[in-house]
Structure 1
Amino acid sequence: MTTATIALDVPRVWGGRIVARPQTATEDAVREIYRAHYGMLAGWATKLVGDPDLGHDFATEAFVKLLRHIDTVNEPRAWLFTATGNLVRDHWRKRGREAIAYGKVGDETTTVDTDHSTTLTVRDAVQSLPDRLRMAVMLHSFADLPVATVAEQLGKSQGAVKRDLYDARARLAPILEGVR
């Protein structure tokens, strides 16, 4: 347990009263990161999942994870967007499994709109990409992170990320043709 961790857990007692303890540098740093990035992160997650409550939940969970790893994070913004992107991706996978399960049950009351020209969104198109392409697109195109940062966050070379983005654009172009 580090000194900073002990300071977070133990309040100061002076004259028999519990008094506010001084903030540590780590707490100040996290507060500053939160002020700078939470709104943008929650908005980004909300646009990806289409639900403001869930978007805020994902952003909050990413900050909780950041607190656990703050000593090892070099670029908090990129790290937060990657963590949130992973939470969104897990959510999409779960929804896909649920849809398959409901399809097996054979609910006759649900009608499926097969005319995707009226219902397709960019989010749906990106969601349809394979995992290896989806995260690169989410981080580069939607979180506005540079290729070098995306490569670092995904543990890939810059060339591999550029190739993933190229492949993603090639797959998305025919799907999104005419979508506004």
Structure 2
Amino acid sequence: MTTMTAVALRGGVAVATRDRVDVEAAVREVYDVHYGRLAGWTARLVSDPELGHDIATEAFLKLFREFAKVDDPRAWLYTVAANLVRDHWRKRGREAAAYERHEAGRDDFTPAPDLATTLTVRDAVQQLPDRLRVVVLLHYFADLPVATVARQLEKSEGTVKRDLFDARHRMAATLGGTR
């Protein structure tokens, strides 16, 4: 990826900036290489191809705006997409809870099915706390190495490894495995 940098003065301080044309070309190059996989990854996470494409597109729009600050576009994109997916899951959880509260007052209300018979790995990942969920999504689902995940989340590699260990134990307990 070729980018040209220029020096601009902002408030008397020299700041390196990237030429707008080169940013568009660089983001297009990243888009051509990573969009399909990112969109597929997010579509699987949210179980909706259209929403997955929307999330991937939003991640690329954010990349375009923040490109000058991004060192590793692939890792950055997956981190942003994971955060957007997490926001989606939170919203769905709030909507489901509100709907259930609304429907609970009705005479013909039937409770949700027993999760023990319908739980999947995706559900187990969704039940993880945010700090563990993002690490799992980036490492196992986006296939990023521990070092890259640590750098993106601004954590040490040891912390990321510990989070992965904790996440695996929690998911095993959730899915009925042994600790």
Q: Which amino acid aligns with 1:114?
A: D
Instruction: Compute the displacement of 1:115 (Å).
Output: 4.8
The correspondence of residues 80-119 of structure 1 with structure 2, limited to 5 A, is 80-107=77-104, 108=106, 109=108, 111=110, 112-117=112-117, 119=118
- The answer to whether the aligner puts 1:4 opposite 2:19 as a matched pair is yes
Please say if residues 24 and 64 of structure 2, whose CA atoms lie closer than 8 Å, have aligned partners that are also in contact.
Answer: no
Of all paired residues, the percent bearing the same amino acid is: 62
Question: Normalising by the residue count of structure 1, what TM-score does the alignment of the two structures yield?
Answer: 0.82
Q: CA RMSD in A?
A: 1.8
3-state DSSP class of the match of 1:156?
coil
- The answer to whether the aligner puts 1:48 opposite 2:63 as a matched pair is no
Structure 2: 5+ residue stretches without partners: 1-7, 9-16
Q: Assess, with a 3 A threshold, how the Cα gap between structure 1 residues 31 and 3 changes in structure 2: closer, same or farther.
A: closer
Aligned to 2:130: 131
Question: Normalising by the residue count of structure 2, what TM-score does the alignment of the two structures yield?
Answer: 0.83
Please say if residues 18 and 68 of structure 2, whose CA atoms lie closer than 8 Å, have aligned partners that are also in contact.
Answer: no
Structure 1: 5+ residue stretches without partners: 6-23
Separation in structure 2 between the aligned mates of residue 100 and residue 157 of structure 1, nearest angstrom: 36
Separation in structure 2 between the aligned mates of residue 104 and residue 170 of structure 1, nearest angstrom: 32
Q: Which amino acid aligns with 2:97?
A: I
Separation in structure 2 between the aligned mates of residue 141 and residue 110 of structure 1, nearest angstrom: 38
Q: Deviations over 1:10-56 (max 9, x none)?
A: xxxxxxxxxxxxxx322221111001000000000001000000000
Instruction: Compute the displacement of 1:104 (Å).
Output: 1.7
The correspondence of residues 28-177 of structure 1 with structure 2, limited to 5 A, is 28-107=25-104, 108=106, 109=108, 111=110, 112-117=112-117, 119-177=118-176
Q: Which amino acid aligns with 1:4?
A: D
Instruction: Compute the displacement of 1:102 (Å).
Output: 1.3
